[in-house]
Amino acid sequence: MRAVSVGYRLAPEHPYPATLQDVTAAYRALVEQPGGAGHVVVSGESAGGNLAIELLIAGKAERLPMPAAALLLSPMTDLTVTGGSYAGKAHADPVITAQAIRTRAADYLAGTDPADPLVSPIFADLSGLPPLNRGIESEVLPVTQRHGIGVVVWSPLAQGLLTGRVRSGQQTDLRRTAIFSHMRDERRLDAVEKVIPLADEAGLPMTRLAMAFAIAHPGVTSALIGPRTMEHLDDLLAGLDVKLTDDILDQIDEIVPPGTDVGTLDMAYRPPALQQPDLRRHPAGERSAAA
């Protein structure tokens, strides 16, 4: 396993967005390497944890391929320092304190609104391992389990496909379906139609079924959720204790076999060699074993 540490510019000499620009450039270079984004795990601690999430959000906006996973250690996710957990959970976090963030954030932000989702990811749309995309089960999760690496997966609701708001042959109010072609992929919609009666059989809303599926894998440490309203948050929190039976998980395996993806995400990385024949072939005169 290879580790890459990015030497990015630092505040206060180089405030936001210099650091994000540097790590994004490094990430672009990494995903162009053999194996692509599917072999990359982004990680960061404290301010670096914040930067790791910033990278994912910015990368998604630029339609960069997403990494296999993100490992975040005590990340700074709220630079407004307004969340109640700063006081209520102060005893549980050995690294981050409200005063530390107030002290460092001003230099980093240099006038940027601390409520901007790109610098305070707690306010961002974090809508990755849903039942529709299980590719990381084939290689990434076995490696992280073997080496004791935690994995935080994103978008367990498949960007809204697993909420019931997007149905085959029906109109939807979900605006991103007009932006991303994979949100209209009939293969993915067919899989959703098969999951809906399964959720009914389990007596669960699709949202809770999808979340419970994501965290049922022993290689998954946690899942990022992106509720836009308190109603969304309450629904997901109400499903914290849901445990799927082996029968339900077996039926999901039949709909989407383990280690496979349904269709291809718009932001998925395609190595240049898959698109340019000359990159996967020796010149005509050099193709024999003797050459």
What pLDDT tens digit does each residue of the chain (291 aa) get?
A: 688 888 899 988 999 999 999 999 999 998 888 777 777 888 888 888 889 988 988 887 787 887 877 888 778 888 988 877 777 777 776 666 788 788 888 889 989 999 888 888 877 766 544 466 677 787 788 888 888 877 888 778 887 888 888 888 888 888 777 777 878 888 888 999 999 999 999 999 988 999 899 889 988 888 877 777 888 888 888 878 889 999 999 999 999 898 888 877 766 666 777 778 888 888 888 877 765
State the Cα–Cα distance between residues 80 and 123, nearest whole angstrom.
Answer: 10
pLDDT at 129: 40
Q: Which residues contact 71 (CB under 8 A, 6 or more apart)?
A: 41, 42, 43, 44, 52, 149, 150, 151, 152, 221
Write out the H or E segment, with its range, that includes residue 232.
helix 230-237
State the Cα–Cα distance between residues 248 and 195, nearest whole angstrom.
Answer: 10
Which two tokens mark 102?
């107030």
Domain ranges of the chain: 18-274
Looking at domain 18-274, its CATH architecture is Alpha-Beta Barrel (3.20)
pLDDT at 83: 77
State the Cα–Cα distance between residues 181 and 264, nearest whole angstrom.
Answer: 9
- Distance set, CA 232 to CA 37, 133, 251 (Å): 30, 22, 26
Q: Give the amino acid at 37.
A: A
Phi first, then psi, for residue 55 (nearest 5°) are: -60, -45
Is the CB of residue 163 less than 8 Å from the CB of residue 211?
no
Q: Give the amino acid at 152.
A: V
Which two tokens mark 173?
């109010």
Which two tokens mark 268?
């998925």
pTM of this prediction exceeds 0.75: no
pLDDT at 199: 92
pLDDT at 130: 46
pLDDT at 140: 80
